[in-house]
Amino acid sequence: MDTRTSQTLDKYAQDKYKYGFITEIESDRPQKGLNEETIKFISKKKNEPEWMLTWRLNCYKKWLKMSDPQWANLKFPKIDYQDIYYYSAPKGFEEKPKDLSEVDPKLIETYNKLGIPLEEQKVLAGVAVDAVFDSVSVATTYKGELEKLGIVFCSISEAVHKHPELVKKYLGSVIPPGDHSFSALNSAVFTDGSFVYIPENVKCPMELSTYFRINAEDTGQFERTLIIADKGSYVSYLEGCTAPQRDTNQLHAANVELIALENAEIKYSTVQNWYPGDEEGKGGIYNFVTKRGLCKGKNSKISWTQVETGSALTWKYPSCILKGDNSIGEFYSVAITNNFQQADTGTKMTHIGKNTRSKIISKGISLGYSQNTYRGNVSFLKKADKARNYTQCDSLLVGNKCGAHTIPYIDSKNNSAIIEHEASTSKINEDQLYYCRQRGLSHEEAVSLIVNGFCKQVLQELPMEFAVEAQKLVSISLEGSVG
């Protein structure tokens, strides 16, 4: 590698995070630490019915008996669960504001700064947004229009009150609280997140989107999202996240459950840009996320697309359980790690039904001193006749101090299963850089172009409104510039 390349790379390694500001707002928090009282506090704050509190407490009991999973390729100090605030809401949020006039202008300003306007006249065209600030949902746009179609798009806290039958039926049905310690923890203390229900044969006409913002210090965010697509329906959902720049690590442990009934399709996209820590690896979000989709009905389809650029630690495996015959699961991922970031991410495809198909496209890009691991598990159960999987994992190394790892597990109990796996690891190619520069592009532009090209297969799966944003984010994650 020539000196010019290493200079540019060093420049990239000093990546700047542009969402690192803090909103000065008084918040309402319980004591630090986790115990039954904390859970009762959260439940009371949300004015929850008895059954919800009982569920939480049962999950807490399960959590007490569990220890954190250790198998990921991540190095971090043991998490002290007693040193975290489990709930934080801007003062006066006992009830969700009915309209924006009741919302503190500081909050609206925060979302404006993040590029997510909430005011009626400025809302993003074609995208309904649920804005979650620390532990509470601030506002949801386009609600009325969606209601006309029978679509429910609200915060999960609201759904507990208004749609208890759906919540009772589906909450924890895809991710059993006892699955692992983070799912139990989330189930016990989840604060807010989105709830979506699409009625039979309704194609949701706009993108539904949740924007998560962690603001308060030493606070964990435990979002819970539940999406149900009834027979023959379709929905595309997008999630975005940012957090202020702080020296201490913060915990984010989300659970997302998707259920697609017969002939239904759910497309779930994530652009994750939590604060990644500084260039020495100080601070940043610990992101322990469980996302799982159940293709419950015949011919259903669930597709996960993720662009992971933030967090100090990422532990995340959006998965599909392909139960219905002919159901389809897809996973498209771009994970970029820089400086001292560590990512252990991938997917799990469980083929249960006949003729089920899954497709995995994973692109990992490592820079600086970071470690980037793809971990995948594809399994075929006995009855999964003629099921097939295609996996493609490509890793791109930029510089020579980072690492890329690919760990695919395949388990087949059915002889008719077809499995294809392709993997590649490459360094950023000097010949490509030379070619681009010979055409007048700067070194930095050339790297950004090549990396964006490397990710294209995944980026093009994002809803159009966000594809351009994601492309910019990829460039920013590489550049030193404040976009």
Partner 1 sequence: MIFLNINNLNVSIEGKKILNDFNISINEGEVHAIMGPNGCGKSTLANVLAGNEDYEVNSGKVIFKDEDLLNSNIEERAQKGLFLAFQYPVEIPGVNITPFLHASINSKLKNEKKPELDNLSFAKLLRKKAEELGISNDMLKRSINTGFSGGEKKRYEILQMSILNPELTIFDETDSGLDVDALRIVAEGINKFKNPKNSYLIITHYQKLLDYIHPDYVHVMRSGKIVKSGDISLATEIEASGYQKF
Q: Which residues bind partner 1 (CB under 8 A)?
A: 2, 4, 429, 431-432, 434-443, 445, 449-450, 452-457
Q: Which residues contact 78 (CB under 8 A, 6 or more apart)?
A: none
Q: Which two tokens stand for residue 398?
A: 């930029």
Min dist CB 161 to partner 1, Å, is 47
Residues facing residue 40 across a β-bridge? none
Identify which of residues 68 and 445 has a Cβ nearer to partner 1 in the complex: 445
Identify whether the C-beta of residue 199 lies closer than 8 Å to the C-beta of residue 151: yes
Identify which of residues 385 and 445 has a Cβ nearer to partner 1 in the complex: 445
- Which residue in the block uniquely carries the two structure tokens 């504001």? 97
Identify which of residues 107 and 462 has a Cβ nearer to partner 1 in the complex: 462
Min dist CB 333 to partner 1, Å, is 15
Min dist CB 382 to partner 1, Å, is 39
Min dist CB 3 to partner 1, Å, is 8
Other CB atoms within a 10 A radius of the CB of residue 111 amount to 21
Min dist CB 474 to partner 1, Å, is 11
Min dist CB 459 to partner 1, Å, is 9
Per DSSP, 81 falls in state: G
Identify which of residues 400 and 426 has a Cβ nearer to partner 1 in the complex: 426
Other CB atoms within a 10 A radius of the CB of residue 106 amount to 12
Identify which of residues 294 and 446 has a Cβ nearer to partner 1 in the complex: 446
Measured distance CA(334)–CA(367) in Å, rounded: 14
Beta strands in 296-444 (DSSP E): 301-308, 313-316, 319-322, 328-337, 342-351, 357-366, 371-380, 388-397, 403-412, 418-427
Identify which of residues 128 and 433 has a Cβ nearer to partner 1 in the complex: 433
Identify which of residues 76 and 435 has a Cβ nearer to partner 1 in the complex: 435
Measured distance CA(231)–CA(265) in Å, rounded: 9
Amino acid symbol at 455: C
Min dist CB 301 to partner 1, Å, is 25
Query: What is residue 353's three-state secondary structure?
Result: coil
Measured distance CA(68)–CA(75) in Å, rounded: 13
Min dist CB 267 to partner 1, Å, is 21
- What's phi and psi for 424, nearest 5 deg? -145, 150
Identify which of residues 409 and 434 has a Cβ nearer to partner 1 in the complex: 434
Identify which of residues 2 and 10 has a Cβ nearer to partner 1 in the complex: 2
Min dist CB 438 to partner 1, Å, is 5
| 443, containing H or E segment | helix 443-459
Burial class (CB in 10 A: 0-12, 13-18, 19+), 482: exposed
Identify which of residues 54 and 442 has a Cβ nearer to partner 1 in the complex: 442
Identify whether the C-beta of residue 198 lies closer than 8 Å to the C-beta of residue 229: yes
Query: What is residue 43's three-state secondary structure?
Result: helix
Phi-psi domain of 355 (left: phi exceeds 0; alpha: psi -120 through 50; beta: other): left
Amino acid symbol at 460: Q
| Four-CA torsion 160, 271, 87, 166, nearest 10 degrees | 10
Min dist CB 446 to partner 1, Å, is 8
